[in-house]
Amino acid sequence: MDYIVVDFEWNQAAYSKGNVPGVPFEIIEIGAVKLDEQGNKIGEFQRLIRPAIYKRLHYVTKNLTGLTEKELRKGVKFPYALVDFLMWCGKDYRFCTWGNLDLLELQRNLKYYHLEDMLPGPITYYNVQKLFRIFYGDGKDASSLEHAVEFLGIKKQDGFHRAVCDAEYTAQVFNKMDKAEAARWYTVDYYQNPRSRKEELHLVYDTYAKDVSREFGGKEEAMKDRGVRSTRCFVCGKPAAKKIRWFAGKNRAYYCLAQCREHGYIRGKIRLKKTDEDRIFAVKTLRLITEEEAEKIGEMKKDMQKKRQEKRHREEHHAG
């Protein structure tokens, strides 16, 4: 298997009113580096793309990349660049990116051109920014690519914010990591989310698991689904008894607390996502937590109940 370390530069509407629904960013450059299983560089890809959606360069894009509209007019059309890119990638590969936005914007651009079938999802990949955070940081705070390059002592030969240069730097950062260890922390992009129960995702990591459901007609239907609400322990596979049932918590997420007899407390968290077609799917995370963290779940529920009561009293007062 090869690693395709890819980076995209994109443009956007000059004004928010000019946004095309479903395509907030248009890809204007593809840059990629191909590594073999040992991390040896075996290829490089670069294409400038002629804009068809946002033809005027946004000042942020212009300042970051140094590209001009004259240069982009000499680029190729997106569908042609995409075909060239995917043929260059080959058949057995996995994408590597810095962050979680590149593949999302790629799929949005594909959908605009009705080319989703050329890169069916969900897409499994390595988020090198996430891996850097896990291996070299605190596991929480995101770092810039330039910081990672400096931290690892990688020589700066080119600038940043051009696709092939950023892909090259990302590849060098990735090559500082143990590939077998990195494989344990793969990421799945679910912009092209599961459409049936058979396609639902069940991802298991060391300290947490993530499930991505099929689509539902609305929030109530999703939260009534037994599979969505399940809190089976992801370590041993046995049912974990609910201590606190699902409730609406902070940041528009749902939370619960369960307990496995063997592995302890498990925090459940569900975020309901909306598709471009206004369908709903659930992303559930089950995470092993400490007793102290478990107590905070109970405190959050009490706090949310108090806030709802206060809101109800205010509404009754205004209505009276």
The letter for the amino acid at 42 is: I
CA distance 141 to 127: 14
- Residue 96 CB coordination number (10 Å): 25
Task: Spell out a b/e string for 28-43, using b for 16 or more CB atoms within 10 Å of the CB, else e.
Answer: bbbbbbbbeeeeeeee
pLDDT at residue number 157: 85
Helix runs in the chain, H state only? 59-65, 69-73, 78-89, 102-112, 128-136, 145-151, 163-174, 179-183, 219-224, 226-229, 291-319
CA distance 173 to 238: 39
pLDDT per residue as tens, the chain (320 positions)? 999 999 999 999 988 778 899 999 999 999 999 999 999 999 999 999 999 999 999 999 999 899 999 999 999 999 999 999 999 999 999 999 999 999 999 999 999 999 999 999 899 999 999 999 999 986 667 789 999 999 999 999 888 889 999 999 999 999 999 999 999 999 999 999 898 999 999 999 988 999 999 999 999 999 999 999 999 999 999 999 999 999 999 889 999 999 999 999 999 999 999 998 899 999 999 999 999 999 999 999 999 999 888 888 787 766 65
pLDDT at residue number 160: 87
CA distance 246 to 258: 10
Domains of the chain: 2-187 (3.30.420.10), 193-309 (no CATH)
pTM of the complete model: 0.84
pLDDT at residue number 309: 86
pLDDT at residue number 137: 82
